[in-house]
Structure 1
Amino acid sequence: MNTQIKFTTPEEAVKVIKSGDHVHLSSVASAPQCLINAMCKRGEAGELKDVHVHHLHTEGPAPYADPKFEGVFQLDSFFVGSNVRKVTQSGYADYIPIFLSETQRLYRCGAVPCNVAMIQVCPPDKHGYVSLGTSVDATLAAVECADYVIAVVNKHVPRSFGQAMIPMSKIDLFVEDDTPLMEAHFSEPNEVETAIGKHCAALIEDGATLQMGIGAIPNAVLAQLGGHKNLGIHTEMFADGVLPLVEKGVINGEAKKTDPGKMVSTFLMGSQKVYDFIDDNPGVLMMDVGYTNDPYIISQNDRMTAINSALQVDLTGQVCADSLGTKFWSGVGGQIDFVYGASLSKGGKAIIAMPSITNKGVSKIAPVLTAGAGVVTTRNHIHWFVTENGAVDLYGKTLQERARLIISVAHPSAQEELDRAAFERFGEHHHYVKKYMSEN
């Protein structure tokens, strides 16, 4: 098949964007910066107004969110990353609260229009297929629904498999740019994170399928799994921490019920090593987020173990992972998709893990959540809760029992105050209070 491409310039390609359009950007490392810059130049020239921009977390600059583009570009993101958090807090951008699993459905059901999808792909193969590389998530749905698809063909985009592979016929305009993908590097776990990692690792059984995202705590957990056997990966994202376990044969997917022997993800963020790892690797399936984050599909894997972080937890088990205070938003992400899916799995474990205090010494376990805090995992969904001080199972426990268990893994400096708060909250006739009074 002839796969010769007729390229155009970024400036020419973005001329298909009209005032009032909705534009989707591919996520994380695959944000198409050359198209973003060309679109913003049109905005600066006064050629556009009221253009809505949508994306999940993106790495790199986000110039369309600059306050100077008020009335020109309106960012309505599905997840608020660090590069657009300040402008979102200040009101120059907004976000659409949505479970990660449903971001693709926003386009497919028409709740959010998609006029133009701007993506990055690898060079075409001999059959005329390109790959979405590190960003399938809601991008595949955007490609399916958009009036125009503009693709940056980039030799640095890995040729990943699964639902990442799309025919060139789905693309209307091609631009060439070989800028390397954005990389993300994570620091080594500190003492607290290592302790959390050990407590989480103790809950993971051989043959488990894992979801644990990216960051210090996931890396700390992965670092403790060298002695495990036959682990699998079904997650919304992964990073460098999985690579040593794949090399050792610890992660092999042999016990998985869905996609046995395969690692499944919907987007990636990490170093070049991760991008090289998925390139031409049939052992990794990059899938639509409607598949990776479907609780039913997640639950089909026995011993599904989901490890997610939190910003704050209250004495009843309400989990805030979205906001603290009235002017902070990030987004729900995939936490509840996997908490629910793991809870339904045979032998599954849903784990919320966090340090017990902030870097400033403030307890992250609170009598009640901070005003304005967004509840992501409700007290009805939480099972295992882990801090550096231990792991407690809250499933099936009363509010009073939960309070005692949660306080038991709080930072020692906060336990007395939390005890008093529980005493005041539950009232003098509650069993917790009677036990508290007898002990004090």
Structure 2
Amino acid sequence: MPENAAQIDFTGLIRDGDLVVCGQATAEPVTLTEALVVQAVHLPRFRMLVGPLFSETFSACAPNVSFQSYGAIGNARRLARAGRLDVIPSNYSAFCADFAARRHRADVVLVQLAESDDGRLSASLSNDYVIDSARGARLVIAEINPDAPFTFGAEWPEDVPIHVRLAARRPPVELASTPLDDVSRRIAAHAASLIADGSTLQFGVGRIPDAILSSLSHARNLGIHSGLINDAVVDLIERGAVTNAEKGTDAGITVTNQVIGTQRLYRFVHQNRAVAVRPTACTHAQSVLARINRLVAINSALQVGLDGAVNSETLNGISIGAIGGQLDFVRGANASNGGRAIIALPATASEGTSRIIANVETVTTPRADVDAIVTEWGVAELRGCGLAERARRMIAIAAPEHRDALSAQLRGVAS
């Protein structure tokens, strides 16, 4: 049993059939979730709603607990592969809105909060569905984490009650950057050619977004309006590449929905008014994104079809990704003045199979919304292209050893 697992007794707090919602990603309240996992075998059956998991908390959990999520990100993939994760196929922004509209209802909410010197509370590292789920919950339990940064924009509303408060015994979850490799650097070099000075960036988690951000240190007047920020953003700000001066909105402010990184990032955002951690109604809304100048959306994929359709969700019928904010930001970038929507991925999977294929098994971003696809072999500019030209351009950025087979498939379809 972890040292902190006995700090709270969930007996009588969790009822049969409850939906328990906990903070996601680095906002997971680990003191609470570890205790819940240890005690789960003695509790009634309940459902656990999770987002991306970057801790090991749920690596072993009693069979009376079932899991739900809007995707399988990070260690949530283990739950999906084990058949224990029910994925709700929803855009992340719509998933959050469903809690606000009470289409999803939580019974118990577990949350990690930061507290300022004057007693104000902040949701700290993520301004997601937790606040809205807490509004209608029977029980809200908060761990106050002295190592969590107090962030502006994510202040805990005074009208949302907290029924139980306790002190966290662990610092927040951290997610360090993955070391770059040759493939990610080559992808980044191609993607960087599409990003002009004065662009505003949106990006996700992983080696490729990190590589692209690291390649932009000599850019000028970049802005950030993203679903998340990470340690690479601190590098760009400290090097003067990010000023947020030309966004057309929120001048001088880095806007994000989540903070996912290490203590270095957490120290940077702590009580920093130049960073705003806002809800999806601000970070993902089309009306907001369309007003941003030169919004460049940088997202990844598991597969891309020859017609440009993007799959970021499933492989062989198993969820190992999510819709997330991809479609919101792709469409927002397409609506932005001077914007670009980049889907970046390695041309081959780890086992050597092509990630450029004839037809994807799940469509996350429809072919009608696709702008540019980037692999280590180049850029396929697809906007405005017919299907035949799209296929030719996609084959040109596939790995050389797979191009003949893809061309043969294309001829078969054409005949």
TM-score, with structure 1 as normaliser? 0.89
Residue ranges of structure 2 left out of the alignment (5+ in a row): 1-5
Deviation at 1:411, TM superposition (A): 1.3
Deviation at 1:227, TM superposition (A): 2.1
Instruction: Please list every run of at least 4 consecutive aligned residues from structure 1 whose deviation after the TM superposition is greater than 6 angstroms.
Output: none
Q: Deviations over 1:303-338 (max 9, x none)?
A: 100011111111111111111111334321111110
Q: Is the 1:164–1:287 contact (alpha carbons within 8 Å) kept by the matching residues of 2?
A: no
My pick for the range that moved more, 357-366 or 240-249, is 357-366
RMSD: 1.9
Percent of aligned pairs with the same amino acid:
30
Residue 60 of structure 1 aligns with which residue? 55
Residue 202 of structure 1 aligns with which residue? 193
Q: Is the 2:131–2:156 contact (alpha carbons within 8 Å) kept by the matching residues of 1?
A: no
Residue 411 of structure 2 aligns with which residue? 423
Q: Deviations over 1:323-364 (max 9, x none)?
A: 111133432111111001101111110011111112332211
Residue 76 of structure 2 aligns with which residue? 84
Please tell me the residue identity of whatever aligns with 2:49.
H
Please tell me the residue identity of whatever aligns with 1:48.
P
Q: How does 1:281-296 map to 2 (within 5 A)?
A: 281-296=272-287
For 2:94 and 2:16, how far apart are their aligned partners in 1? 27
Matched, 1:32 2:56: no
Deviation at 1:150, TM superposition (A): 0.9
Please tell me the residue identity of whatever aligns with 2:272.
N
SS in 1 for 2:367: coil
Deviation at 1:12, TM superposition (A): 4.3
* Cα 1:361/1:38, change in 2 over 3 Å: closer
Matched, 1:133 2:124: yes
Q: Is the 2:37–2:57 contact (alpha carbons within 8 Å) kept by the matching residues of 1?
A: no
Residue 109 of structure 2 aligns with which residue? 117
SS in 1 for 2:312: strand
For 1:245 and 1:34, how far apart are their aligned partners in 2? 33
Q: Deviations over 1:211-233 (max 9, x none)?
A: 01121111111122122111110
Residue 4 of structure 1 aligns with which residue? none
* Cα 1:14/1:24, change in 2 over 3 Å: farther
Q: Is the 2:342–2:371 contact (alpha carbons within 8 Å) kept by the matching residues of 1?
A: yes
For 1:360 and 1:39, how far apart are their aligned partners in 2? 37
Deviation at 1:169, TM superposition (A): 6.0
Residue ranges of structure 1 left out of the alignment (5+ in a row): 1-8, 428-440
Residue 92 of structure 2 aligns with which residue? 100
Q: Is the 1:74–1:93 contact (alpha carbons within 8 Å) kept by the matching residues of 2?
A: yes
For 1:215 and 1:327, how far apart are their aligned partners in 2? 20
Residue 3 of structure 1 aligns with which residue? none
Please tell me the residue identity of whatever aligns with 1:214.
V
Matched, 1:382 2:379: no
My pick for the range that moved more, 219-228 or 276-285, is 219-228
Residue 244 of structure 2 aligns with which residue? 253
* Cα 1:39/1:272, change in 2 over 3 Å: same
For 1:350 and 1:139, how far apart are their aligned partners in 2? 29
Matched, 1:343 2:334: yes
SS in 1 for 2:255: strand
* Cα 1:145/1:300, change in 2 over 3 Å: farther
For 1:276 and 1:178, how far apart are their aligned partners in 2? 18
* Cα 1:175/1:378, change in 2 over 3 Å: same
Residue 437 of structure 1 aligns with which residue? none
TM-score, with structure 2 as normaliser? 0.94
Q: Deviations over 1:178-226 (max 9, x none)?
A: 3111211223321111111111111111111100112111111112212
* Cα 1:354/1:41, change in 2 over 3 Å: closer
Count of matched residue pairs:
410
Please tell me the residue identity of whatever aligns with 1:30.
A
Please tell me the residue identity of whatever aligns with 2:44.
L
Aligned partner of 2:62 among 69, 74, 91: 69
Residue 3 of structure 2 aligns with which residue? none
Q: Is the 2:310–2:363 contact (alpha carbons within 8 Å) kept by the matching residues of 1?
A: yes
Q: Deviations over 1:250-299 (max 9, x none)?
A: 10111112322111111122111111111111111011123211122112
Q: Is the 1:152–1:176 contact (alpha carbons within 8 Å) kept by the matching residues of 2?
A: yes
Matched, 1:242 2:233: yes
Q: Is the 2:71–2:323 contact (alpha carbons within 8 Å) kept by the matching residues of 1?
A: yes
Q: Is the 1:30–1:181 contact (alpha carbons within 8 Å) kept by the matching residues of 2?
A: yes
Please tell me the residue identity of whatever aligns with 1:225.
L
Matched, 1:11 2:2: no
Deviation at 1:105, TM superposition (A): 1.5
SS in 1 for 2:89: coil
* Cα 1:82/1:179, change in 2 over 3 Å: same
For 2:257 and 2:146, how far apart are their aligned partners in 1? 20
SS in 2 for 1:285: strand
Aligned partner of 1:305 among 292, 296, 301: 296
For 1:294 and 1:199, how far apart are their aligned partners in 2? 28
